[in-house]
Amino acid sequence: MRQFRYSLGAMILHWAIAIAVIVNWRLASSAEGAPKEQAMALMGTHKALGITILALTILRIIWRLTHTQPPMSSMLKKWEVTLAKTIHAIFYVLLIALPLLGWIANSSFGRGVDMFGLFTIPPLPVADDPKVGGSIYDIHKVLGTTMILLIALHVLGALKHHFFDKNGEIYRMLPFGKVQA
């Protein structure tokens, strides 16, 4: 029997990463314009959660490489399959690049990443150059905005499939509902 739903492990990693990315975006947004001490606390959590997202993404990639993925619905148009595959590939690139760029930028200021007060990840061995670090933070911010826009497109696509196409595609990443072939 063909499996049309993702495995429970893939679902857990998908939703954990999705929630963490949205929370991390809100942390960074809330830090902008906040009083300095509050902004620093929010950004400290943002950085730790970013490293957590990196670790979860590596686990997700390992899971994806070691577990069979369900086929896409045969009802999807060719352009929909191409768009979905392209966006998913970009998601993986951003889920790796964003935390790494943040870590590199942070390291350019000679700072490690405090992991929720449990331990500190040391700075990467990069030059102590705040100007370069600031430029990398700017790129990180643009890519973060790109990630949020792609998430919005991803959600809109899922809602289109659910409410307009009524093809059950949304249930591939949920443990309930009927997935159609």
| Structural domain contains residue 65 | yes
SS (H, E, C) the chain: CCCCCCCHHHHHHHHHHHHHHHHHHHHHHHHCCCCHHHHHHHHHHHHHHHHHHHHHHHHHHHHHHHCCCCCCCCCCCHHHHHHHHHHHHHHHHHHHHHHHHHHHHHHHCCCCEEECCCEEECCCCCCCCHHHHHHHHHHHHHHHHHHHHHHHHHHHHHHHHHHHHCCCHHHHHCCCCCCCC
| Structural domain contains residue 179 | no
| Structural domain contains residue 66 | yes
| Structural domain contains residue 61 | yes
- As a whole number, mean pLDDT of residues 123-149 equals 97
Judged against a pLDDT cut of 80, whether residue 180 lies above it is answered with no
Distances, alpha carbon 105 to alpha carbons 71, 99, 119, 130, 135, in Å: 39, 10, 19, 8, 8
Give the pLDDT confidence score for residue 1 in this predicted structure. Answer: 42
Q: How confident is the model at residue 72 (pLDDT cuts 50, 70, 90)?
A: confident
Number of domains composing the chain: 1
What is the Cα 153 distance to its own chain's centre? 14
Give the pLDDT confidence score for residue 3 in this predicted structure. Answer: 75
Average per-residue pLDDT for the chain: 95
Give the pLDDT confidence score for residue 181 in this predicted structure. Answer: 63
pTM tops 0.85:
yes
Judged against a pLDDT cut of 90, whether residue 179 lies above it is answered with no
| Structural domain contains residue 180 | no
| Structural domain contains residue 161 | yes
Could you list the residue range(s) of the whole structural domain that residue 39 is in?
8-173
| Structural domain contains residue 32 | yes
| Structural domain contains residue 178 | no
Q: How confident is the model at residue 108 (pLDDT cuts 50, 70, 90)?
A: very high
Judged against a pLDDT cut of 60, whether residue 56 lies above it is answered with yes
